[in-house]
Each structure stands twice: as structure tokens, then as C-alpha cells.
Amino acid sequence: MGILTPILIHYDALHLFGEDDGELSKKIYNAVEACSRYPQDIGHKGYCNYVTVHPSCHASADRVFVVSGGTMTELSTFMPDFQNLCKSHPDLINKIIASAKRTIRECEKELKNSTEEK
């Protein structure tokens, strides 16, 4: 199955991909290859967090991410970044979890509605 690496790309600087001479792709490659246990922000041509590379995991691992407020947070008690956020910013984590729960409830409602229509 292999390994998967989630990457968040900010649209504000998307034009840099079209202008890339290979430097940006090398930075992304190096961040993925580094196998960090923490998300890594990649700076490029004046953009400090243009691309965020999240830790890689086996392709069969179930993972839940919340993308909000310009960030992508993995909801996982095994990830050091999540553990650190729980300690340093518990109010933020509570908001992220509440957002995830709202989305799950909406999806469950849609699933129920779609199965009742049959």
C-alpha cells in the first residue's frame, strides 16, 4: 500500500507553482523525505508558510484532519503536534473538535437522508 503524506497548499501563492524552476518541488520533496513527526512549513519566495507538509503514515492508517483558519490540524492523540496544541491552546483544540463534530453530524444526516430516499 505504501506511505501517504498530506500536504496543505495555500491558494494565495499558488501562482508560484506555475513559475517554479524546481526549487519549490525540491523543498517539498526534502520535507517529505525528512519524515518529521511534526508538520513542516515550507517558505518560498517571500511566503513563509505557503506549503505545510504533514507527517507521513502508512496508507492503511485512518486519519482525520480539520482544515480551518488557514491551517490543517490532524486529530490524533498519537501525534506530538496535537499533544502540544492540547497543552498550549486547549480553547483552539476545543473549537477544532467542535467543528469536526458538526461536520460529522452533517455527513451522518446526509447519509441517513440518502438511504431513506431509496
Q: For 10-113, list the strands marked E by DSSP.
A: 40-44, 47-53, 57-58, 65-68, 71-74
Q: With bands split at pLDDT 50, 70 and 90, how would you rate the model's confidence at 26?
A: very high
Q: Which long-range contacts (CB under 8 A, 24 or more apart) does 59-66 make?
A: 59/1, 59/2, 59/3, 59/4, 60/1, 63/6, 64/100, 65/6, 66/96, 66/99, 66/100, 66/103
Range of the domain at 8: 1-61
Say whether both 1 and 57 belong to one domain.
yes
Say whether both 1 and 50 belong to one domain.
yes
Tell me how far apart the alpha carbons of residues 81 and 37 are, in angstroms, rounded to a whole number: 8
Q: With bands split at pLDDT 50, 70 and 90, how would you rate the model's confidence at 118?
A: low
Say whether both 52 and 70 belong to one domain.
no
